[in-house]
Each structure stands twice: as C-alpha cells, then as structure tokens.
Structure 1
Amino acid sequence: MSHDSRDGDEAVPHLSPEEFRKLGHRMVDWIADYWSRLESFPVRSQVSPGDVASKLPAHPPEEGLAGEQGWDAIFRDLEDVVVPGLTHWQSPSFFAYFPANASGPAVLGELLSAGLGVQGMLWSTSPAATEMETRVLDWLAELTALPASFRSTSATGGGVIQGTASEATLVAMVAARERVRRHGAPADAQWVAYSSTQAHSSVLKAAMLCGVARGADDTVHVRQLETDAHFALRPDVLERAIREDLAAGRRPFFVCATVGSTSSGAVDPVRAVAGVLERTGVKAAGCWLHVDAAWAGAALVCDEHRALLDGVELVDSFAFNPHKWLLTNFDCNAFYTRDRSALLDALSVTPEYLRNAASASGAVIDYRDWQVPLGRRFRALKLWFVLRHYGARGLRTHVRGHVKLAGDFETWVREDARFELAAPRSLSLVCFRLKPLPGEASDATDARNRALLERVNSTGRLFLTHTVLPSVDGTPARYVLRMAIGGTYTKARHVRAAWDALSAAAG
C-alpha cells in the first residue's frame, strides 16, 4: 500500500495505482460472478431484523487494512454479511414494486463517474459533464418521441438528470409556484396542488417540503381526487375541484398527471386534464401541468406505446426513470420542461464563489440551477454508455420482451378459474388476485390473498408485492397482487416458474 507523507507527517495509506488495479479487477470479477449466480439466492432476504448489524463491529477500526491480504476480510464479509442481507433486485425472479434495472454498460459508466470524481455543478467545473448530459437527454427525448419543445435546441425547453421522480416532482412544483407568482399571485396565496388518489406519494411530500401542505393529512392544499373504473384521474372531478377552490379564493398552481401509476399502472388522460386547465382559466394564470411517467415512460421507445404521450405537447414538464426499466442503474431520472425560465427563476442562487465568466456570458447551462442540491455527479456517463451499447433497437427489444411476457401471464390468470384480473394490464404490470369464494366477505378474500403472497415469497424462489385498489362503483377496496415484469435477466422460463409457484400455492 502506497504512503503519502510530507515533511515527516504520518503517511496516509492510499492505494497505489497498481494496488487499485488489482482490487478493481477483483471487485469487477466479484460483481460478474454475483450476476452469474443470482438464481442461487432466495430473492427476498431471509434475515431477521438486527441480523446484519449483529455481524458488524460496534466501533470503527482504529487501524486500516494491511495490504491486499487485508482486503480478503472485506470480500469474506461481502459473502457472509452483505449478501445474506440483500433482497436481490437484479434476480430474474424479482417481480416486486417496479424493476430497478442494472446492466453492464451502466455499471461501467457508474465506475467511470466515480473514478473521474467530477463535481459537475457548473459548466466550468467540467464542460464535458454538462454538454454530454444535454446531448444524451436530447437523444432520449428523440427516442421517446417527446416534442421538440422539450429539447435543449428549443428556445425555452430542455432536459436534465435528476436523482429520482420524487425530486423531479419537487422541482416542477417549485417552478410552478414561481411561475404563478410571476402571473400576479400574492405572497400569501392559498396554494392548491392536484393529483389523483393513485398518484405517487411524492406529490404530497413535495407539497410538504414546499410549505404548501401543512402536513400529510392536509386535504385543502393537496387535493387527491377520485378516479374512474380504471383508476385514472377523472377530468370532471378535477374541474369541479378547481372551480371550488377558485370560488373559495384559493390559488390552483400545480397538477400532476400520472402515466403508469405505482399501484396498477393507470394512465391519466393528459389531453383532457390539460383541457380542464384551459377551460377553468388557471392555465392562463400560470398553473403548471407535470406528467410523472416514472416507470411507464421507458415504453415510449416503442412506437406502439406512443399513445401514452397523447397531449404531452400541452404539459409543462415530463419525467421518467431510466433507472427503472431502461437498463440504467439507480439513480437516473430524465426530467424535461418546456419552461426552463421558471425553473431558473425558482432555483437560481449565485453566491460570489460560484461566479465565473462562462456562466456570466449566458452561453452555457449550469445544471445546479435545475435541481435542489448544488453538487451533482457525472450521471450522464452511464446513460451515454447504455444508449451507445444497446442502441434504440436493443432498448425496444428489452421493453417489448417484457410486455409480451406480461401478456402471457395475463392469459394464464384469465384461464384459471381460481384467479381474476384486478385491473387492466398496463404494459408489463399485471394486477390479479384470488377470486372471492361464493358468499365470502371481502376481508376474508383479502386475507386469502395476503396468505398466498406470503407463501410464495417465503419460498425465496420469487418475490412479488401487493397493493390495495380503491373502491369502484360501491365495491369494497381490494387487496391485490402485482406481477411487475422488467428485470434485466428475466426470461420466459422465470415468468412461467412464477405462475407455476402461484398456482401450486393457491391450492
């Protein structure tokens, strides 16, 4: 291990380039081996609370590792401490939540980003970090058929990488409030944000962070509106709520439409929602329409799914997560706006120590003004690697394969008299459950479905999660299972094995 010392100061035990090279090769080998043996692990971690912590020392080490042999202990701990405590999100039999794709090109991009150690807050702090991000976001906008007004080449729009869809929602909400203020809203306005009950919890959290919502139970300043039979936002309900708030002297400023909700993959009617903002006059007053397509947005690389975009030319911002279903590891959210000036007005703060000639010229983008934090990693590298490695054709093949597998799973559910679909299939997401038995109370049906889910998950052979879908036309809310297909390595045999396990466990 190399040592850095100055004038007799104690040496710092940095890795030499050669030591780093050896350990780096070893770690990459470990990751490659991990991927090759994913199917040997129980998908959901089998440890109990506190098991991992009990294997870790209570106090930090005083002395560091002694040479390469010292690192043997770290690799042993990876196997003995870390791996048993993992739920294996990259397992081909992981069907829970939504996918969290990792891929070789993305991981290499992440490694390179860490090795370069760039802090890309300003154009001047690394021009390549900024200009590559701008270009790959424009590539992604083209691949997903976003209108030209969302690209950096437009007069008013552009894209940026946020960490998550939750951050994108917060940024959009802050920009929305700033724009409505520019349209004359008073400083003490009673702001109101709108979404469906099926929108992601990040809408409420963003309102809390902005000071719009007084708390998680504030139903005055955050209106979570009832949905239709397919769990999509109802434009008539939105219009009624907006007119009520206007009459009460409140200020509608933000609407979030969801394309691919977390529970069931529901798609809000974006064009109709935009029409409501136009008819009620709140659009003219600056009200912002944001589309959260965190999961489903990846499907837009395929022509046959472009109907999801209907009306997107009328919205102010659009965001989706390549880190969910587009082979780019967490974290990577693609956020686009047609009104970057509102974003900059809301988020720009320029202390003296950040002033520089390039920024002052107005000829460059400083992405620190497009996000909440100041600092930012060189995340564009991993997205660049993914787009170059797979190409548009590879990405389309990835998405289409999973949609087909979900169609197969949907067919098996339909053909089994014990099961029923709980919502229309959305791309690669299938919501289903055991049917109620004759005369069975709804809570008893829910209990049977909870038991089924736990039986299959406890085997370790697969992992699914659940949701509760709201009441429709007077029927009770329902506990349902979610089959979310989208893993990097998921094939037909894994989906078939999951169905066989569910079928056997159903009795």
Structure 2
Amino acid sequence: MDAEGFRKYGRQMVDYIADYLENIRERDVVHRVSPGYMRPLLPDEAPEKAESFDEVMKDIEKIIMPGTTHWHSPHFHGYFAAGNSFPSILGDMLSDAIGCIGFSWATSPACTELEVITTDWLGKMMNLPEEFLHSSEGKGGGVIQSTASETVLLCLLAARTRTVAKYKEADPSTDEMQIISKLVGYCSDQANSSVERSGLLGAVRMVKLLSDENFSLRGETLRKAVEADKAKGLIPFFLCASLGTTGSCAFDNLEELGPICAAEDMWLHIDAAYAGSAFVCPEFRHYMKGIQYAETFSFNPHKWMLINFDCSVMWIKNSSYLVDAFNVDPIYLRHSCEGKLPDYRHWQIPLGRRFRSLKLWFMLRSYGISGVQEYIRRHCRLAKEFEKMILDDGRFEVVTQVVMGLVCFRLKCSNKVTERLLGEILADGRIYLIPAFVRNIYFLRFAICAERTTSDDVKFSFQVIKSCTDRLLQKVSLKNGYKHVPVINIDAPQHLETEESKYSSDSSTPDVDQ
C-alpha cells in the first residue's frame, strides 16, 4: 500500500470507526460464537499473493465483529470502564505512525518530554503531593506503564531491592537470598489478583489481610500482622493499599495504614486503578487522605479517563529506587545528555516503549480539566440513578455503598437465586454484567462503563434486569410451590449457606487486566 492507498483506506477506516462507535447500541453487546468459530472462516495459510484491501475491509464485519464483545456499548456493565475517546484514538494513530521506541531521551526527546509534562499535568489535576512531580526539586515523577498489574510488580521489586540493600549495608556478610526469603508483603483480601501474582513473580510472601465490614483494610489489622511476622523473624517490607477494589470499589484506610508503614520503613504502594480517575474531582479526594505516606501511587487513565488501552500512570517520590533495581546500562544505550531528563528504560521492565503520552495530551487538551470532571460526575450520577431503581423495586438490596460508578446488588434471596439471575441476564444477551463473591455474599456488579451511556441506557438495562427477575422468580416460585421467594437478611447468620462453599472470593470476580 502506497501513500495514496493509505489516504484512501485511512479515510474509510476512520469512517468505519466513527460509525461503529456512534451506532454501537445497535450491536449485540456480547458475542454469540463458540470457541474455534474463526478457523473455518480463514484459510490455513497466509495468502501467497497480495489481496486488495477492499477485501480486507469486507472481512471485518464477516470475521472480526461476530467474535467481538463490545466493551464500549452503553449496555456493557461488566468489570470497569475501558476508556476511549476520539482524541485518544487519534493520538494512538500518530504514535503508531511515528513509531519511535522511546527508551531514552536521545531516541526521541519529544516522547520523553511530553510524558514528563503530561504526568505532571495529571498529578496536579489530582492534587498529588509535590514530591510525586517531575517539577519538584526532588527525585520524584510520573511514568506511563502498560497496566497497573505491571506497576505493582515494579514497585514490589524496587521495594525488595531497597530492603535488601538496607540489610546488606548493616551487615555486608548477610546473604542476599537469605534476606529475600524473610521478606513479607501485605494487601487486603479485596486487592486485585495482580498483587498476589506480583508476590509470586518477586519470590516473596504476600499475605492477604482481612478487611472490615466495609471491605476496607484497617491499621490495627496491619499492625497485628506486622508484629506477628516480626516475632517469627520475618521482614515486613511492602504494602499494596487499594483505593477502589475490583469487587466492590472499596477503599483501604490510608490514614491508619500510612503511619504504620512509615514507622516500619515499609514501602506503601497505592493501587487506584479504577477510582484514581475520580480524584480529579475535589469531592472524591477525601479517599486519598494519607497519600503522603506512599512511596508510589498509580491509576489507569485507560479505565475511566477517556484514554484507550494501554495507559497506566505511576508516580514515585524517589525514582532512584527504580533505577537501582533495573539499571543495566550497556554502552549502546548511553547518550551525551544523560541525567538531564529521565531515561524511562530505567523506570520499567521492558526496554522499548511507545509514545503513549500523545493520546493523553490529545485527550486532556480536547476535554480540559472541566470536561474530564463532568464525564466522571455524569457516570456517578448514572450509578445513583440505577441504585434508586434497584431499591425502589423492592426485590433487591445494595450490598455496598455506591460512591462512584459501580453498583453492587443482589436479590433478597439465597446466593443461588442471584447466581441464576445472572444466568438469565447473560442468556437474554441484551446487557452484560459480571458477579463478585465477598464474605459469602454473591452479588452482581453494575458498572457504568461507556462514554456514551445515558440515563435512557441505564433505564433500559434496569428493565432487562427486571424482566429477567420476573421470569426467574416465576420459575423458582412454581418449582418450590409458593408464591414468593423467601427474603434472607444478609446480616443474619443463616446467610452463610454451606451448599455455596463452591464459591471462592479469589476467583468469583473475574479480573480484567489492569
């Protein structure tokens, strides 16, 4: 394809993308294909001779779209939002065209410098402590990673290196592996599975601590765990606190956890993958109280801030901890301007990196701070609208406080009936939800995800849930020979039903890649 062909088909593709997103309500939100559906539709080998791109365009609807789950549909309410906007898409297009591999300032100064500036913009939008900014006089700053999962691993490895160095300095004869064998990190039992996985990859113990009745990790729980582990000769070194958990959007208590981490010289990392976007709105920043104790903080603009995947931003107070952990500096990567601006290859696991700050820059300039704030607030208003519909119906209960764009709800019945309701909803196919299971409570998660979601879309989704509930409860009533399904108080002891032991709090909430 030459430049003229690119202009022709580029215009066609832009039109196709615009039409796809503008008319996405007309598509079934979830695919209806079976595993292996694509194999009969494609030849066994790549074509020997070039094909017309007209034929490729035709096959998008024939082959690709039937197997696509439409995350940007206003009827998609699973997981959390997958960010998207036209300015962000355009930023990725330009990034792909430039195609630089920005592992150092010298390889593409614009790639590095725009990332420094835009991560500072974001940090100031959320009122992060100055130590997290490149513009401060310290060693802090922001960096764009691929996912929050990668960020947790990065921070754990940096914390491990820092702790090992501290103990080696105190006693140079101490064996490094012996120190690592004693390290123990902590997280809430509500933390994303990526935290436990980071412990496995970093070869350190990762202990899940019991959260309170609001699914929040509290200081006293951490204190007791630290004291018990120190008594066993272990070395507490890392805590990953969650602001907006995957299952229920719960918030760990940073004001209580932070001072303990400071007193014990533990690295505090804050994972705010979803909820962090809301901190651009001042009314949500009280959830950040205690952030001054953190060494690192991250959230995903590619979730709830109109940026398409991937774009996870991490801030660190002292970047030298990352450089010390990952610095391998062969001569062919060096350049004459080292030290004047970050060489981001030292701030991440991969060497190469994309020009991801372009899409962030395009979006922030196109929406402005006020536009992003209104987007977040609108989603929160829609969640409250849905909560009211659920409560007004009378057959449902809301499991956790609705503070952002997620509503966790269940039927006032046994876990099994709520699970069957999800089956009815998925079989119906008009909307998409996922479940969670916390403290022996099986519930459904209704997340406001798409940029284009309106009040009418939320009403439509509730009507689908209502009609599916009508059908299900009719079946249950007929089967059991009574007119009404018995209500079970979720606070009562009988709620802990032994036949539901098949559920696991580690697996019932599918994790989207952070």
TM-score, length-scaled by structure 2 = 0.88
The separation in 1 between residues aligned to 2:50 and 2:402, in whole angstroms, is 53
Unaligned runs of 5+ residues in structure 1 are 1-14, 213-220, 437-444, 471-476
Cα shift at 1:56? 2.1
5 Å-filtered alignment, 1:171-182, equals 171-182=154-165
Cα shift at 1:459? 2.5
5 Å-filtered alignment, 1:127-142, equals 127-142=109-124
The one-letter code of the counterpart of 1:290 is H
Larger mean CA deviation between 32-41 and 122-131 belongs to 32-41
Q: Is the 8 A contact 1:41 1:460 kept in 2?
A: no
1:423 match: secondary structure = coil
Q: Indicate which of 467, 471, 476 corresponds to 2:436.
A: 467
Deviations 1:52-75 (A, max 9, x none): 23322222222222xxxx112211
The one-letter code of the counterpart of 1:457 is L
1:358 match: secondary structure = coil
2:42 alignment counterpart: 56
5 Å-filtered alignment, 1:177-188, equals 177-184=160-167, 186=174, 187=176, 188=178
Cα shift at 1:34? 0.8
5 Å-filtered alignment, 1:99-498, equals 99-154=81-136, 155-184=138-167, 186=174, 187=176, 188-189=178-179, 190-212=182-204, 221-278=205-262, 281-283=263-265, 287-359=266-338, 362-436=339-413, 445-470=414-439, 477-498=440-461
1:331 match: secondary structure = coil
Q: Indicate which of 73, 76, 94 corresponds to 1:94.
A: 76
The one-letter code of the counterpart of 2:18 is A
Q: Is the 8 A contact 1:42 1:459 kept in 2?
A: no
Q: Is the 8 A contact 1:195 1:225 kept in 2?
A: yes
The separation in 2 between residues aligned to 1:405 and 1:381, in whole angstroms, is 30
The separation in 2 between residues aligned to 1:253 and 1:54, in whole angstroms, is 53
Q: Indicate which of 11, 17, 25 corresponds to 1:31.
A: 17
The separation in 1 between residues aligned to 2:222 and 2:292, in whole angstroms, is 20
Cα shift at 1:486? 2.9
1:51 match: secondary structure = coil
1:499 to 2:441 alignment: no
Deviations 1:181-200 (A, max 9, x none): 23225512111110011101
The separation in 1 between residues aligned to 2:264 and 2:259, in whole angstroms, is 11
Q: Is the 8 A contact 2:261 2:293 kept in 1?
A: no
Larger mean CA deviation between 25-34 and 370-379 belongs to 25-34
Q: Is the 8 A contact 2:301 2:311 kept in 1?
A: yes
The separation in 1 between residues aligned to 2:302 and 2:236, in whole angstroms, is 32
1:483 match: secondary structure = strand
2:384 match: secondary structure = helix
1:467 match: secondary structure = strand
1:240 match: secondary structure = helix
The separation in 2 between residues aligned to 1:456 and 1:52, in whole angstroms, is 26
The separation in 2 between residues aligned to 1:495 and 1:178, in whole angstroms, is 48
Q: Identity across aligned pairs (percent)?
A: 41
1:7 alignment counterpart: none
Cα shift at 1:248? 1.0
2:499 alignment counterpart: none
The separation in 2 between residues aligned to 1:461 and 1:260, in whole angstroms, is 27
The separation in 2 between residues aligned to 1:448 and 1:157, in whole angstroms, is 51
Cα shift at 1:493? 0.6
Cα shift at 1:447? 2.0
The one-letter code of the counterpart of 2:145 is Q
Cα shift at 1:252? 1.0
2:221 match: secondary structure = helix
Deviations 1:140-161 (A, max 9, x none): 0011111111000121210000
Deviations 1:468-489 (A, max 9, x none): 112xxxxxx0110001113111
1:125 match: secondary structure = coil
2:63 alignment counterpart: 81
The separation in 2 between residues aligned to 1:31 and 1:412, in whole angstroms, is 34
Q: Is the 8 A contact 1:197 1:227 kept in 2?
A: yes
The separation in 2 between residues aligned to 1:295 and 1:207, in whole angstroms, is 21
2:264 match: secondary structure = coil
The separation in 2 between residues aligned to 1:206 and 1:400, in whole angstroms, is 33
The separation in 1 between residues aligned to 2:315 and 2:65, in whole angstroms, is 37
Cα shift at 1:276? 2.0
Q: CA RMSD in A?
A: 1.1
Cα shift at 1:501? 1.1
Cα shift at 1:246? 0.9
Q: Is the 8 A contact 2:258 2:291 kept in 1?
A: no
Q: Is the 8 A contact 2:72 2:449 kept in 1?
A: no
Cα shift at 1:366? 0.3
1:123 match: secondary structure = coil
The separation in 2 between residues aligned to 1:81 and 1:119, in whole angstroms, is 32
Cα shift at 1:164? 0.4
The separation in 2 between residues aligned to 1:87 and 1:486, in whole angstroms, is 13
Q: Is the 8 A contact 1:266 1:426 kept in 2?
A: no
1:45 alignment counterpart: 31
The separation in 2 between residues aligned to 1:57 and 1:134, in whole angstroms, is 46
Deviations 1:27-46 (A, max 9, x none): 11111111122011111111
Larger mean CA deviation between 412-421 and 310-319 belongs to 412-421
The separation in 2 between residues aligned to 1:428 and 1:176, in whole angstroms, is 32
Larger mean CA deviation between 232-241 and 331-340 belongs to 232-241
TM-score, length-scaled by structure 1 = 0.89
The one-letter code of the counterpart of 2:150 is E
2:306 match: secondary structure = coil
State how many pairs are aligned. 460
The one-letter code of the counterpart of 1:454 is G
Q: Is the 8 A contact 2:383 2:448 kept in 1?
A: yes
The one-letter code of the counterpart of 1:166 is S
Deviations 1:1-39 (A, max 9, x none): xxxxxxxxxxxxxx2111111111111111111112201
The separation in 2 between residues aligned to 1:332 and 1:326, in whole angstroms, is 10
